[in-house]
Amino acid sequence: MYRVTIHSGINDVNGTVIHSPYVSGQKLTAGSIKQVIDGIDSMSFEINLRNAGWGVIKPLTTLIKVINVKTGIVEFDGRILKPKQSMSSGGDFATQYDCESVLAYLLDSSQRHGEYRNMTIAQFLQVILNNHNAQVESHKRFKLGQVTVTNSTDNVYRYLGYENTYDTIKDKLLNRLGGYLVVRRESDGLYLDYLAEIGKTSATEIKLRRNLKDMSREIDPTEVVTRLVPLGAEIQSEDETATDASKARVNIKSVNNNLDYLDDVRLIAEFGIIEKSVVFNDVNQPNILKTRGQQYLTAQKTARNSFDLTFLDLSLNNLDPESVNRGDKYNVYNPIFGINETLQVIQKEINIVNPLDVKANFGDKFKTLTQYQNELNKGMSRYEDLEKSVSNQIQTIGALKTQIDNVSQSVADINTEINESDIPGLVEAIADLNDVVDQLNIAIGNIPNYTPATQTKDGLMSSIDKTKLDEIQLATGTTNGLLAKEDKQKLNRITANTSIDLDQFMLDFLALKEVVENMQPQE
């Protein structure tokens, strides 16, 4: 499934294979790849003394590539980091290596201070890449690819400091505007895309009792707010000499029974009192502020859900249309967990040694309290339905067992009838019939297989008769044949001057015969 090669440098095109998908090839002791959508891909692997990579790997300079031989996709492209050597109590030696993808090349450079105004996002990212490319080797340089991330004005106003390039991109762009970094290796080098969205919705499904092996869900309600203190715009102090750094703000006491907070009774009953203040700088009226606070409580997401799944990659056996890829969206179905929705893969872990086992982490899903409680109730309901289904299956199995018992009795009855039948007589009759068939076959085999006769070989006639037959020829006036030559000469003299009606000739002949027979001899 996977071929792993190491390269001593960028000019080592062919490299050395340290893991082959074929039985007789090199093998890693262990190996896994972790692909993410919001960071740098990583890989770890282990080799022993018999592996071709033993003793030739150099940290940071040895490059590594993992290719899916079935699809041709490069699953990992990067460099090898620090090694960790070990020896077991049984005397087995091994070395484990950690690796990072080529995106980590952005960690090898730092930026320079600068102020940048009225630049598009693509132009600002190009400035950052120019700073990076000026400091690193040619194989670590990036060309600017597609940029689909935008903001409301399609321009940025940023300062650059002296942080490394990757942290700069993360701070100045990713954390503020969102989006994803995607590296592409083309024939002319590396390209860095900055995309607003990645992935597609796949036809492959992950379902309980099909390809889902195990699953865990983390529900984190720690961000829930059950008591909200809504605050509006700042109130200017009438005391011109006041120097308090903290200023009073508009609150809702005047329109909320002298209380400056709002309670969500349902959430308090579920989670207790958890208070938080939220500022609405553009609100100056208490009644509007109260409405905004109530809207915040109603709309807040009370529970964050994340999912870790281990499933079988059935695309290897052509049972699924395609493999699971990071960034793509898949329908996940687990009725016990109350899940039947499309989720995005934010992390995928590939097992190089055992490719069928794939682990994936699906993106966070935030649920309201109502959704949170409904899913728990649905899970219990589906569990009860599953119990009923099992009970029905037990009844069905009982009915099938009864039918099997009936069939077994029928078989026993048939065996009894066979035992009571005149089996020896039937066997003797069949034996006699077989004898007759054998005799017919022998008789048919004794029939001669005649072929045409020749003057040297007997056939339908003897070779002597065939010779005589071949010698027979038509007679002529000078040679004997079917007639003597004299008879042939006489026959040739017979001529007919007029045509003869043979039918009339026969009638005349018969009449003359009758006359002759009726004549009386004279006495």
Confidence of residue 393 (pLDDT cuts 50, 70, 90): low
At 328-385, the pLDDT tens digits run: 888 888 777 777 888 888 889 999 998 888 888 886 554 444 444 454 454 444 445 5
At 441-478, the pLDDT tens digits run: 666 666 666 567 777 877 666 777 777 666 666 667 77
At 160-188, the pLDDT tens digits run: 999 999 999 999 999 888 899 999 999 99
Check pLDDT > 70 for residue 61. Answer: yes
Segment 417-437 shows an average pLDDT of: 64
Higher pLDDT, 6 or 322: 6
- Do the two domains 2-100 and 109-195 of this chain adopt the same fold? no
Res 371: pLDDT: 46
CB 26 within 8 A of CB 44: no
- If you search the block for the tokens 């297989």, which residue do you land on? 449
The DSSP 8-state label assigned to residue 249 in this structure reads B
- If you search the block for the tokens 């099997």, which residue do you land on? 404
Domain ranges for the chain = 2-100, 109-195, 201-221+303-367, 227-236+248-299, 380-444, 452-487
CB 22 within 8 A of CB 3: no
Taken in order 258, 259, 263, 265, is the CA torsion positive or negative?
negative
At 284-307, the pLDDT tens digits run: 899 999 998 998 887 765 556 677
Check pLDDT > 60 for residue 316. Answer: yes
Q: Rounded CA gap, 28 and 221, in Å? A: 42
Check pLDDT > 60 for residue 26. Answer: yes
Check pLDDT > 50 for residue 233. Answer: yes
Half-sphere exposure of 453 (CA within 13 A, CB side): 14
At 235-286, the pLDDT tens digits run: 876 666 655 556 789 999 999 999 999 998 888 887 889 899 998 887 889 9
Is residue 204 helix, strand or coil?
strand
Q: Backbone phi, then psi, for 187, in 5-degree steps?
A: -65, -25
Segment 404-415 shows an average pLDDT of: 65
* Distances from the Cα of 2 to the Cα of 82, 234, 251, 438, angstroms: 23, 62, 63, 64
Segment 59-86 shows an average pLDDT of: 94
Least confident of 48-52, 350-354, 403-407: 403-407
Check pLDDT > 90 for residue 129. Answer: yes
At 92-118, the pLDDT tens digits run: 899 999 999 999 999 999 999 999 988
Global pTM value:
0.58
Check pLDDT > 90 for residue 411. Answer: no
The H or E element containing residue 265 is: helix 265-271
Higher pLDDT, 388 or 81: 81
Q: Rounded CA gap, 179 and 121, in Å? A: 12
Segment 313-322 shows an average pLDDT of: 70
**Mean pLDDT rounded to a whole number for the chain:** 81
Res 97: pLDDT: 97
Res 473: pLDDT: 67
Higher pLDDT, 17 or 329: 17
> Looking at the domain covering 109-195, what would its CATH class be?
alpha beta
* Distances from the Cα of 518 to the Cα of 279, 404, 513, 514, angstroms: 158, 103, 9, 6
Q: By percentage, how much of the chain surpasses pLDDT 90?
A: 38
Check pLDDT > 90 for residue 194. Answer: yes
Q: Rounded CA gap, 163 and 171, in Å? A: 10
CATH node for 2-100: 2.30.300.10
Q: By percentage, how much of the chain surpasses pLDDT 70?
A: 71
Res 303: pLDDT: 57
Confidence of residue 231 (pLDDT cuts 50, 70, 90): very high
Res 424: pLDDT: 63
Check pLDDT > 90 for residue 404. Answer: no
Higher pLDDT, 292 or 309: 292
Check pLDDT > 80 for residue 195. Answer: yes
Res 372: pLDDT: 46
Across 75-89, 263-277, 403-417, 492-506, which has the greatest mean pLDDT?
Answer: 75-89
Across 129-133, 465-469, 474-478, 516-520, which has the greatest mean pLDDT?
Answer: 129-133
CA angle 485, 487, 492 (to 5 degrees): 95
Res 281: pLDDT: 82
The H or E element containing residue 373 is: helix 369-420
